Amino acid sequence: MGLCCARRALRSKWIAPRVLKNVGEPLPSTLLRTVSLSNRVGSRGAGEMQEQLKEIYELNNSLLQLAENLQDEFSKRKIKRDTLTADLSLLCFFFAKASKTASVVVLLCQNGCYAEDALVLVRTIFEIVVRSSYIFKSDSINRARDYILYDNFEIRKQLRKVTKWHKKNNVENREVEEELENVETDCETLEKDLQINRDNVIWPKKKLEELSIKEVDLGNIYYTFYWISSLYCHTSMRSSKSYVSESEEGISFDIKPNQQLAKDVLIWLFDLFRLMAREFDNRFNLGYREKISEVEEEFNKFMQSAMNGK
């Protein structure tokens, strides 16, 4: 998407996803079509917009209920972490993180109240989808192991910075120093016993842009949804029109609910979070494939209706 198109999208449109495949599979560009519904439904009145917001809100609640059912089914099996391979253990974390974040997004989008903040959280779910897609694309156990172990080196790096700042400013914090000592020991073990260090654990250092474009074929979403949501996340001036405006009477604060944005955020949420629900169900064979397909079909009908202006 060119810069001019991106600017227009930020000002007057919202770009919604259509249609993603399962996490872990390559995503052909032909399936990464994006549609803008704002121009088609924005002129039909607040009543219809409110009805569409209610419908996509309920679809997300249905998906969240399925996610809760998946967690319950998983818990019934009393699966221990030490019985799982690194990739499945990491998937548990990814799915739990995405589920909790999705629940917060739905709450924020109720009646369109806090759509901008919800948008930033859906950005997080996209990041989870990208990393999960890359891990399960190939050599998933080793890739998951690297992702988990790399965290030790990143924590050590940050703790070293903190302790350096403390010493420079004569700040005593024994708790941080002890944590650094523990992490240093862990990293030394990895480096000596397993021959693993920050330099040879490569892929977790790759930027999300590189993973999205070159590895999992999600560049189209990265350069539309993720790019725009990042403007809000990092308080870019290009997001300012969602908060303040200026007229002959002066500056005014725009803090009222944004139902159009809330609807589009919930569309993105559903199309991304369903991937994590489906992947979790598939990997652990929890038996919810048909139920997930049913709610996906309802979502497809909603999208088709909105695209056709019904």
- 244 bridge partner residues: 253
Give the pLDDT band of residue 149 (cuts 50, 70, 90): confident
Distance of CA 23 to the CA centre of its chain: 13
CB 124 within 8 A of CB 212: no
pLDDT value, residue 286: 97
pLDDT value, residue 42: 41
Give the pLDDT band of residue 310 (cuts 50, 70, 90): low
32 phi and psi angles, rounded to 5 deg: -105, 40
pLDDT top residue among 246 and 196: 246
Sign of CA dihedral 67, 68, 69, 72: positive
Average pLDDT, stretch 278-292?
A: 97
Closest CA to 55 of 257, 297, 263: 263
- 251 bridge partner residues: 246
Give the pLDDT band of residue 241 (cuts 50, 70, 90): confident
Helices (H), the chain: 3-12, 38-41, 46-76, 86-109, 115-137, 140-168, 174-193, 208-210, 219-221, 227-233, 259-284, 289-307
| Residue 49 pLDDT > 80 | no
- 246 bridge partner residues: 251
Which amino acid, one-letter code, is at 69?
A: N
Sign of CA dihedral 30, 289, 15, 128: negative
- 128 bridge partner residues: none
Give the pLDDT band of residue 126 (cuts 50, 70, 90): very high
pLDDT value, residue 69: 98
Q: How does pLDDT run across 81-116, given as a tens digit for each residue? A: 999 999 999 999 999 999 999 999 999 998 788 999
CB 59 within 8 A of CB 270: yes
pLDDT value, residue 20: 45
